[in-house]
Amino acid sequence: MGKNQHIVPYDGKWAVRPEKGDRVGSVHRTQSAAINVGEKRAKAEKSELVIHDRHGKIRDKDSYGPDPCPPKDKRH
């Protein structure tokens, strides 16, 4: 599995930041634009996409890799 991708608030915009990375990968005007990019990266890395709210708190996660305990929800 690759690095998880986090969607985080960044200077009034939204950034895609690889897990355990000091730098952001890319900055976007909207959260949905950042989610689209983060989702592509998470799929390519076979990792998780972790979406934070504007206060930095985790609000959602999606897994795109082999998950030994897959979620029971069917939203994606």
CA distance linking residue 63 with residue 28, whole number of Å: 22
Q: Does residue 4 contact residue 18 with C-beta atoms inside 8 Å?
A: yes
The total of other beta-carbon atoms located within 10 Å of residue 11's CB is: 8
The model's confidence at residue 72, banded by pLDDT at 50, 70 and 90, is: low
**Whole-Å CA distances, 72 to 35, 48, 69, 75:** 22, 16, 9, 9
pLDDT (0 to 100) of residue 2: 82
Return the domain boundaries, the chain: 5-60
The model's confidence at residue 17, banded by pLDDT at 50, 70 and 90, is: very high
Query: Does 69 score more than 90 pLDDT?
Result: no
